[in-house]
Amino acid sequence: MTDSENRPPIYDALRHLELDNAALRLKLARHEFRQMERELKAEHPFKLDVHATGEPVPAKIVIPETKDVMLPRLPVPMGSIHAEDTATDLPVIGVHDDGLTGSNLAAALMGLMNTQYQSPFARLIFLCSSFEAVPFLGRYGFAFEQIGAAEPATVLGRLNRRYGATQIRSLGTGAVIAEFREP
Amino acid sequence: MTAPHRWLTDTSDPLPQLIADHPKFAGREELIAFSQTAALIHWPTIETYTGKVSIILRRVGREDETEWRNHLALLQQLLKQSGKNIDFLALNDDAATALSDEMGQTVTAMPALPREFRGDRALTLSRINGPLQLVRDHSDALPARQYNLARLRRLAVMETDGTDADLADVVQFANGVPEGERPHPKKAPVIFVIVPNGFGLGHVTRMLAVARHLKARCGARVIFWSFSRGVGIISQFGFEAVSRQTARHIGAEADAWRKWETEEFAAVLRELKPDLVVQDSAALEDFVVDALARPDVGAARLALIRRGMWQKHILGTNLLASENLADMVVEPGDLAAPADRGITRGRATKTTAFAGIEVSAPVTLTQPAELLDRKRARKALRLGRGRYCLISLGGDAFSDWGHLVRHLIDAAEKARVQLVWARSPLAAPNPDIDGNPKIMTRSFYPLAPYLAAFDGVVSSAGYNSFHELMQLYDGPVLFAPRQHSALDDQAARARFAASQGWAMHAEAAQNDDRSISSFMNDVRASKKAASRPQWRDGAAEISDALAGLIKAGNSPL
């Protein structure tokens, strides 16, 4: 008798289900990525048509770093373009938007998302200097932090404590802006 | 409660909340132990601290008298051994005298707080059953850990049941002493608005309406703590915003997320010391309540804006419990209130722990003066001549209302009406709609200023859309209510509007397209609605009530 003959039928059914689920997750991730591509290649990405009489106010408040060492680390999602919800073996990296807006921001995001979709290398926290990309990043299930005009390196301590981030890189160039070192 | 670094305290002690409110102590750099027990627990810190140290000695509280006396004796012994120079303080003159006698050395009474409340409302605090509680005459006692005494002392005169000398001292200290009429500080109020991540932009829209009035009428600095992705819209309306993500957004465990949210919200409160925190939602978030109970975050008042028309299947009173935590609960009025079947119906006649529940006029972000005329509205939306019907069903409504949209397309074609799909500014482009040659797509916010561009509107019956359309638009309206369990009772609202002759109503399971054809003929004919309710400024009413709450006490609507 082979192994498969020894196994109860439910085992095979569950195995099939698991494989089907995995295939479905991959298909869904591919669908999400295609949808994301379309959005980023649109004529006016991130455009908000708002009829408002006030002057737009940029993000000013930066959350201070907490001294409470007992707080648990929070997870960093992979985004819906990835078949796995979490990939805890990948490092957590903050990606600063370099103050880019509109189609420049979209092009830089496209480059990064393409790499991340093909061969994911990190769990990403997007550091946004404006609110422009917030609906987009939220829709695709990414973590983001609004930092306004703050120097990105100054928020790394908080990102490390909150998410376990180890470095901050530039969205445009990929260069390392700051590296976390234990105090 | 987490106290500042140089405060040595027991987490259940409410005194640090009051000391943070004390003009002579707030922000001081000295090390303060808030009781002899806290001083004993943290004695190594006291002994090694090189700056000034004060210990606030307390009279007998929850402990028995022998234990209390032993703690004082042990403290004396440690002091003698260390030779440390420490200031001893007490909460009032009587306590100072009693504790001086007990300790055999000088204990100074702390300067009293200025009295903040001048009305006749009273609250009773008790520790007779263990933890500190707020005792109520006709309801169960409330745990006091959910409240900040610095806030409560602005709401009422506090009393005790007289069984606990220390609590009597704390309460006397909290009430403060009358001073001469102090000029009201002329600083602009700081207000935090918490907006949850709803299905659309309902919470954001309602609170933008209120915030605009608060800014215009009392120069308030209004800051949104926003879980909504519509944070860019808030910024475009001229308000500061802090963009946050929920536990679900990042896949975090609720408890871990709540701890972080409490910590970081408290950190911002500590920096800005707002006058008011107001949340628009069904219930106050735990992190808001917990952060506000921290001892060093100021004494912000707390208000809950809670719309009615909950779905009738939502039962129980748990969700209503946060009424007891707020200083003010306001229900934005609903034109369909007579059809309200939810559990908040009739709550306006109830009294919470501190305040009644008030109902305002309906709230709309857009005011009549902001409506564009037809020509300007069409130009702004790049619409030419002809008949246009707006379809505004919400973010992912196409799948819910696919059959309705198909009926609408057919009827519009027959009536030679062009359909315009309003895409939510938060939604991704929808290939089903964008690729349909029979439907134009526009994305703009808010919709109301542009309504004159359209000869008819098909809309969901959410709070904001409903009240904008019923008070600011005079063309034919067909309501297609959404029936998600987490949303309000849109079907009841739509049915009520139909019963009043204000609009037509489509059922989700409706297969009969005659009513849709009839509606589209009305659109073709640019028919005007017979009579709809007159616009009233609920946002201004709520803003005035909140401003009154900051200034003095409850200001009834």
pLDDT at B446 over 90: yes
State chain B's mean pLDDT as an integer: 89
Residue at B137: amino acid letter: D
Q: Do B449 and A68 touch (CB under 8 A)?
A: no
Summarised one tens digit per residue, pLDDT across range B232-241 is 999 999 999 9
Summarised one tens digit per residue, pLDDT across range B337-386 is 999 999 888 887 776 667 778 899 999 999 999 999 999 999 999 999 99
Task: Say if CB B460 and CB B497 are below 8 A apart.
Answer: no
pLDDT at B553: 44
**Residue B186 confidence class, pLDDT cut points 50, 70, 90:** low
A153-157 long-range contacts, CB within 8 A, separation 24+ = A153/A177, A153/A178, A154/A62, A155/A62, A155/A94, A155/A127, A156/A94, A156/A180, A157/A65
Q: Do A131 and B242 touch (CB under 8 A)?
A: no
d(CA B178, CA B176): 7
Summarised one tens digit per residue, pLDDT across range B65-102 is 999 999 999 999 999 998 888 999 999 999 999 999 99
pLDDT at B4 over 60: no
pLDDT at B346: 83
Structure tokens at B12: 């259940």
More confident residue, A54 or B436: B436
Which residue in the set A64, A86, A128 is minimally distant from B251, CB to CB?
A86
Q: How many beta-carbon contacts under 8 Å exist across A and B?
A: 128
Domain tally, chain A: 1
Which residue in the set B223, B425, B426 is minimally distant from A49, CB to CB?
B425
Q: Do B242 and A63 touch (CB under 8 A)?
A: yes
* Mean pLDDT per 10-residue segment, chain A (183 residues): 66 80 87 93 86 80 86 95 83 97 96 94 96 94 95 96 97 96 79
Summarised one tens digit per residue, pLDDT across range B39-56 is 999 999 999 999 899 999
pLDDT at B435 over 50: yes
Task: Say if CB B503 and CB B465 are below 8 A apart.
Answer: no
**Residue B554 confidence class, pLDDT cut points 50, 70, 90:** very low
**How much is the ipTM here?**
0.90
pLDDT at B458: 96
Burial of A53 (C-beta count, 10 Å sphere; 0-12/13-18/19+): exposed
Average pLDDT over residues B303-324: 86
| Chain A residues touching residue B443 (CB < 8 angstroms) | 47-49
Most confident of A22-26, B131-135, B247-251: B247-251
Structure tokens at B111: 């300067």
Average pLDDT over residues B427-455: 88
Average pLDDT over residues B536-553: 90
d(CA B340, CA B147): 32
**Residue B557 confidence class, pLDDT cut points 50, 70, 90:** very low
| Chain B residues touching residue A85 (CB < 8 angstroms) | 251
| Chain A residues touching residue B428 (CB < 8 angstroms) | 35, 39, 139
CA distance A152 to chain B (A): 16
Which residue in the set B231, B267, B442 is minimally distant from A134, CB to CB?
B231
Find the residue in B nearest to A61 (Cα): B242
Q: How far apart are the first and last CA of chain A?
A: 61
Task: Show Cβ contacts of residue A24 under 8 Å, excluding neighbours closer than 6 positions.
Answer: none
d(CA B199, CA B47): 55
Least confident of A4-13, A78-87, B13-22, B451-460: A4-13
Average pLDDT over residues B99-115: 93
Compute the C-alpha angle B480/B482/B484, nearest 5°: 165
3-class secondary-structure state, position A67: coil
Q: Do A52 and B245 touch (CB under 8 A)?
A: no
**Residue B512 confidence class, pLDDT cut points 50, 70, 90:** low
DSSP designation for B349: G
Instruction: Count Cα atoms within 13 angstroms, Cβ side, for B246.
Output: 14
More confident residue, B396 or B298: B298
Q: Where in the sequence is the domain holding A25, given as residue range(s)?
A: 1-48+57-183
Task: Show Cβ contacts of residue A138 under 8 Å, excluding neighbours closer than 6 positions.
Answer: A144, B229, B245, B249
d(CA B124, CA A159): 44
Q: How far apart are the first and last CA of chain B?
A: 34
d(CA B358, CA B64): 45
CA distance A137 to chain B (A): 9
Most confident of A177-181, B127-131, B399-403, B511-515: A177-181
Report the helix count and the strand count for chain B, using DSSP H and E: 20, 22
CA distance A139 to chain B (A): 8
Count of CB atoms situated within 10 Å of the CB of B101: 9
Least confident of B157-171, B175-189, B359-373, B384-398: B175-189
pLDDT at B471: 98
Choosing among A127, A131, A137, which should be mutated to test the B contact, i.e. which has the most B CBs within 10 A?
A131
Average pLDDT over residues B108-129: 89
CA distance A16 to chain B (A): 27
d(CA B152, CA B164): 19
Handedness of CA B271, B274, B280, B284 (dihedral sign): positive
CA distance B299 to chain A (A): 20
**Residue B395 confidence class, pLDDT cut points 50, 70, 90:** low
Find the residue in B nearest to A128 (Cα): B243
Find the residue in B nearest to A50 (Cα): B445
